Each structure stands twice: as structure tokens, then as C-alpha cells.
Amino acid sequence: MTELLINYLHFSYTKDMEVLKGIDLHLKDQTTAIVGQNGAGKTTFVKLLKGLLQPTEGAIQFNGSNTKDYTAANLAEHIGMVFQNPNDQIFKSKVLNEVMFGPLNIGQEENEARDKALEALKKVGLEDRLEKNPYDLSLSERKMISIAAVLAMDTDVVIFDEPTMGQDFAGKERIKEIISELRSLGKLVLCILHDMDFAAEVFERTIVFNQGNVLLDGSTRDVFSDENVLEQAFLEQPHVMQIAKNIGLDGIYTTESELVAALERAWFD
């Protein structure tokens, strides 16, 4: 079983400004969404998990061993992360080679890397673009390349930073599928999100960050029902909750079908 144990995690770039002010979390199994406004410390937090930054205080344990003992490149074998902007990583002239870069780095054989890359590209729907130059594709397709590049590394933990940004309906649906498949493979999925509808619909657990602290941590359902906390973190409720509230329907809803079912019950009563 994969788990990340975070104890008393502090971090600051400069002496006088703490970005993370003592985070305690135990992450395992469930798919987890991290929400919060910009500057809340979400990206810094996941960079620490990835070993790209080192804690100023506290520790992160990955399956029982301290991440301090790994280099970022070592940790890459176990923890994968998809960054916000795909343009910050793409450098190969062919889609397939770009996706094979990570697997080869972490010691996969050429053939294995190719197979993993092909499989990953299929998941993101780019299996017919293998030989294309990534820069001839659109930004949202390049984002899919960067997702495939991490999936192909087959890590135990997969972190996404804003995967839905700039994606249309089909793109979001595809990312949903990818996340649920990762979940069924027993991977630990962690995702920074601005899209509350997506967070409510897809994730089992939601953590609200605010000013370097965890403001609320719990099942997605509980978190999104807590209007006060969301307001404190300057977040909107998901649209399903807004609709329910607007038409005076009690209860907590995270997906459209839940809301429709409840409405139908109320309707035919």
C-alpha cells in the first residue's frame, strides 16, 4: 500500500514569510483534491512531496522512509507529477520520444519504455499522433502529452497540478477516466484544482488550503457542504450545490445525477 505521511511540515523561501505553517496529513488510497486560492501554498506543498524543495521543519515519509534521503530524480521513480504548463517540459521533436523520456530516465528498458509510452498515449487519446511534433499540436493536446509522460513512468503516486485548465468537455471527461483508472490500479492520486465542479464530482477526499494551513480536510461531501469554510478560503460552492440552495432543496450533492435523483423524489412526493 502506498502512503505519504506528512508531519509538522513547515516551509519558507525567505526568513520572514512562511509559506507552509505546519501541515499534518496522512495520504493514502483515496483520490484527493487540494483546493484553495492562489498563494495558499498548494503548489509549494506538492513540490515538497516531490522533493523539489526541502522542508524547513518537519518531515515527509513515503512508505516509511524520509523523502530527504532521496534526490528529486530518485523520487521520480515513485512519485510522478504533471505540471501546470506543458511548455515547461516538452523538448523532443516527436510526441512518442517526449513521453519515453521519463521512463528511460528511471531505468526502464527501451522496449518497456516504448510500450508504457504507447499505452499512456492511448489513455490520453493521442495514439495517432506519435510521430507529430508536439509544437504542431494545440496547447490542450500538449497538456495531454505531459500527462502521458507521467503516466508512462508508472509511479505509485501521481500528482496533477491543475489538469483541467484550458480543457474542453471531452478533455475533462478523459481526465476523469484517467483518474478513476489510476484509482482502480491502487495508485495514490493527488490533484490541485480550481474547478470545484470537477473536484466535487471526481474526488473522494478534499483538502482546503488557506494561507499555509490546512483549513479543512475530509470527505469531499463534507467539505463542500461547509459553506463557511469555503467562504473563508474564498472558494465557490460547486454548481450542483448552488442550484440546490437556490431552489430551496436541502441536502448535500456532489454530482449532477445525485441532484437530479433528489429533485425527482421531491417532485413526485
Q: Footprint of another protein on this chain (CB under 8 A)?
A: 37-38, 47, 50, 52, 71-73, 76-77, 80-81, 83, 85, 87-92, 101-102, 105-106, 135, 138-141, 149-150, 153, 165-171, 194, 197, 234-236, 239-240, 242-243, 246-248, 256-257, 259-260, 263-264, 267
User: Which among 208, 264, 202, 200 has a CA at the least distance from the CA of 231?
Assistant: 208
* Beta carbon of residue 97, minimum distance to another protein (angstroms, whole number): 12
Nearer to another protein, 73 or 185 (CB): 73
* Beta carbon of residue 15, minimum distance to another protein (angstroms, whole number): 20
* Beta carbon of residue 42, minimum distance to another protein (angstroms, whole number): 10
Nearer to another protein, 87 or 213 (CB): 87
* Beta carbon of residue 256, minimum distance to another protein (angstroms, whole number): 6
Nearer to another protein, 20 or 90 (CB): 90
Nearer to another protein, 61 or 85 (CB): 85
Q: Pseudo-torsion of CA 223, 229, 233, 238, nearest 10°?
A: 50
* Beta carbon of residue 47, minimum distance to another protein (angstroms, whole number): 7
Nearer to another protein, 153 or 214 (CB): 153
User: Which among 11, 153, 162, 148 has a CA at the least distance from the CA of 79?
Assistant: 153
3-state secondary structure the chain: CCEEEEEEEEEEEECCEEEEEEEEEEEECCCEEEECCCCCCHHHHHHHHCCCCCCCEEEEEECCEEHHHCCHHHHCCCEEEECCCHHHCCCCCCHHHHHHHHHHHCCCCHHHHHHHHHHHHHHCCCCCCCCCCHHHCCHHHHHHHHHHHHHCCCCCEEEEECCCCCCCHHHHHHHHHHHHHHHHCCCEEEEECCCHHHHHHHCCEEEEEECCEEEEEEEHHHHHHCHHHHHHCCCCCCHHHHHHHHCCCCCCCCCHHHHHHHHHHHHHC
* Beta carbon of residue 96, minimum distance to another protein (angstroms, whole number): 15
Nearer to another protein, 22 or 70 (CB): 70
Nearer to another protein, 106 or 252 (CB): 106
* Beta carbon of residue 92, minimum distance to another protein (angstroms, whole number): 8
